[in-house]
Structures are given as structure tokens and as C-alpha cells.
Amino acid sequence: MAHANARLTVHGRRLIIERARAGWKQAHIAAAMGISRTCVKRWIARYRAEGEAGLRDRSSRPHASPSRTSTELEDAVLELRHKERIGREEIAARLGVAPRTVSRILVRNGIPPLRALDPITGEVIRASKTTAVRYGLIAFERVAV
């Protein structure tokens, strides 16, 4: 799905192709639609290469993440946290990684922050801060004084 500020949706891209088939010049299509000539050229080329499927929205997710943390390091972070119940800075210092990396690993695996755990048992003692109803309706009676 196109984002809210996108100039072109699938329908707009089809309109580019229809106008190009009708003999419009790319510069005229761009001016009429308020987009760049490069954009028009890109959609026409994609349509020629892939057909109708080339006009659909694509995911912006990368095909690969070569710099993602290894599973061995991730397991080591989770093991340290589980056994010793230490914070991200301590784990990061012991394993030689950035504290932010440790935070991402913990969040990705659903591990709650230390402040939400009982210091002795390690059990979750605090509910999350999100509630179903943030502001409840409270009826106040006006009392005559």
C-alpha cells in the first residue's frame, strides 16, 4: 500500500501507462501528473519489464540483512540475562557489543526490562503501562456547600 503522501497509487501508475500508449511524451505526462520525468520513465520501464505486476506496490524490506547479529551472540545475550539478571550495559561490556544491540535482542525476544521484574525471583511484577482505557469516565456530583 502506498504511503499517505505518495503521488502515485496503482491507479496513477496505470494512468501513466495509458497516456504513454496514447502517444503522450514522458515530459507531458510528468507535467500533467505533477511528478518528475524520471519517475514516469521508471514506471514505464517497469511496466515493459514486468507487465501489470510491475505497477503494484513492493515491500521496502531488504532481501537480506548481512549485518544482523549472529544467533550465537543472540543466544549468549539471552543466556546471560536469564542466568544473572543483569542490565544491557553489563551484558554489552561482557560480550563486547554495543548496549543498543543488546536492547534490540532483548526486545526482539520479548524479554521485559529489569525494572519490571522482581529483584529476587525474576518474575514480572509490573503490568505494562498500556491500558485499554486511558481516561475513564468519572461521574462527579456537584455538592452544594
Name the amino acid, one letter, at 17. Answer: I
pLDDT tens readout for residues 115-128: 888 877 778 886 65
C-alpha cell, 34: 505533477
Concatenated DSSP letters of 53-120: GGGS----S-S--TTSPPHHHHHHHHHHHHHH---HHHHHHHHTS-HHHHHHHHHHTTPPPGGGB-TT
CA distance 7 to 138: 45
In order along its 145 residues, the chain shows pLDDT tens digits of 566 667 788 999 999 999 999 999 999 999 999 999 999 999 999 999 999 999 998 888 888 888 888 999 999 999 999 898 899 999 999 999 999 999 999 999 999 888 888 877 778 886 656 655 666 555 555 656 5
pLDDT tens readout for residues 24-36: 999 999 999 999 9
